[in-house]
């Protein structure tokens, strides 16, 4: 029994509470320091799954493609993230549908703070934190190039800040929808990179990713405006109460604070869109330059392959012969 209790501490989420409902009692969860033990256990699980995907899928494909070192590293990164984003996207969609967060958008801010979480919501957040924390030692295990480490560290830090922030500030419902939108765009991007590495002439999925990226940004901005601008200011309990998990909803009664937050969100989304537009313009410019160089090379090759005009007949010993074998030179008549 002692070992079983210890094992449950690592495997299952802790801090379960029986919440009375109209139909009886419902078991829900809140967070605490014991969550760190559970996250640690699933970090090791994520490392094992990472190695399995690398060994039995990505390495076999890499041996067939014969990629360079730079492309090999990027292929492994995109392959791992495609597997993660696809599984997380399906899992997150299942959670938000079964919990009714999509069918009832008001549930994103109603009864805030959302201190008590269903089992699947808390378990999803713990697994997400474990995955992005496991990505830190993977930078060493995968022998990532020094030039790539700052970019990957920024990406990991942003995900950890957003996921942990939504979890600790009791904004888990909004966080689930935002993660679903983000993972959808990231899935198409890394899938497009995998297809591009296998066939450099195939860039159709990048166009699909561009459309999905713009749509998800618009939905993300709309959700921020809906929840921050209209939802949280209408919450009944506006008093600061850290013990009950109400950290900052009282601030949204102040219109200046609310407008400042929305302005920061809009500026951040605008910066993301600017980088995206800059990337697309650079990609299209490279594409058209490549196409024009190919056309010039094809035109030059065609001009070189054009046959030269030759005189009728053929050459024999430096003398042009007619088709009947006679020389084309005018014969001098012998003087009688």
Residue 61 lies in a domain: yes
Residue 166 lies in a domain: yes
pTM for this prediction: 0.82
Query: In the chain, count of helices (H) and strands (E)?
Result: 9, 4
Residue 330 lies in a domain: no
Residue 3 lies in a domain: yes
122 closest CA partner among 175, 85, 47, 81: 175
pLDDT of 249: 61
Residue 169 binned pLDDT confidence (cut-offs 50, 70, 90) = confident
**Tens digit of pLDDT for each residue in 174-225?**
999 999 999 999 999 999 999 988 887 777 888 899 999 999 999 999 998 8
309-324: burial string, b at 16+ Cβ within 10 Å, e else: eeeebeeeeeeeeeee
Residue 309 lies in a domain: no
Residue 236 binned pLDDT confidence (cut-offs 50, 70, 90) = low
Residue identified by tokens 């990609």 is 283
Q: What is the mean pLDDT of the chain?
A: 83
CB atoms within 10 A of CB 50: 20
pLDDT at residue 104 greater than cutoff 80: yes
* Distance, CA of 29 to CA of 171 (rounded, Å): 14
Residue 150 lies in a domain: yes
* Total domain count, the chain: 1
Residue 226 lies in a domain: yes
Half-sphere exposure of 324 (CA within 13 A, CB side): 2
Cα distance between the two ends of the chain: 135
The residues, ordered by sequence, that sit 6+ positions from 253 with a Cβ below 8 Å of its Cβ are: 233, 238
Residue 76 lies in a domain: yes
Q: By the 8 A CB rule, do 246 and 240 touch?
A: yes
> Of 6-15, 62-71, 74-83, 241-250, where does the model show the most confidence?
74-83
The pLDDT > 70 percentage for the chain reads 84
What is the domain range of residue 89? 1-294
Q: Pairing relation of β-strands 16-21 and 314-316?
A: unpaired
pLDDT of 158: 92
């Amino acid at each position: 029994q002692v070992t079983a209790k210890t094992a449950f501490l690592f495997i299952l989420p802790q801090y379960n509470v029986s919440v009375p409902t109209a139909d009886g009692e419902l078991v829900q969860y809140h967070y605490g320091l014991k969550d760190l033990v559970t996250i640690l256990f699933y970090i090791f699980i994520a490392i094992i799954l990472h190695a399995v995907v690398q060994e039995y899928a990505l390495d076999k494909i890499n041996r067939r493609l014969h990629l360079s070192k730079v492309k090999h590293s990027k292929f492994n990164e995109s392959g791992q993230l495609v597997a993660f984003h696809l599984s997380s996207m399906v899992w997150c969609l299942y959670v938000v549908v079964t919990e009714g967060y999509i069918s009832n958008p008001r549930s994103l801010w109603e009864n805030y703070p959302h201190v008590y979480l269903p089992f699947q919501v808390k378990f999803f957040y713990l697994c997400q934190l474990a995955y992005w924390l496991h990505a830190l030692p993977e930078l060493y295990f995968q022998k990532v190039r020094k030039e790539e480490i700052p970019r990957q560290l920024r990406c990991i830090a942003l995900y950890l800040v957003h996921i942990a922030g939504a979890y600790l500030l009791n904004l888990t419902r909004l966080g689930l929808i935002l993660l679903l939108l983000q993972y959808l765009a990231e899935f198409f991007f890394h899938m497009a990179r995998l297809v591009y590495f296998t066939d450099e002439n195939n860039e159709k999925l990048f166009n699909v990713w561009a459309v999905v990226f713009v749509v998800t940004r618009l939905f993300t901005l709309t959700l921020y405006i809906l929840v921050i601008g209209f939802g949280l200011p209408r919450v009944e309990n506006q008093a600061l109460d850290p013990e009950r998990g109400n950290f900052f909803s009282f601030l949204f009664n102040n219109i200046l604070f609310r407008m400042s937050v929305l302005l920061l969100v809009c500026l951040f989304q605008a910066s993301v869109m600017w980088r995206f537009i800059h990337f697309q313009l650079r990609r299209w410019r490279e594409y058209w330059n490549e196409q024009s160089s190919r056309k010039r090379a094809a035109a030059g090759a065609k001009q070189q392959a054009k046959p030269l005009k030759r005189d009728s007949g053929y050459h024999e010993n430096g003398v042009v012969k007619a088709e009947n074998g006679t020389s084309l030179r005018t014969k001098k008549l012998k003087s009688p």
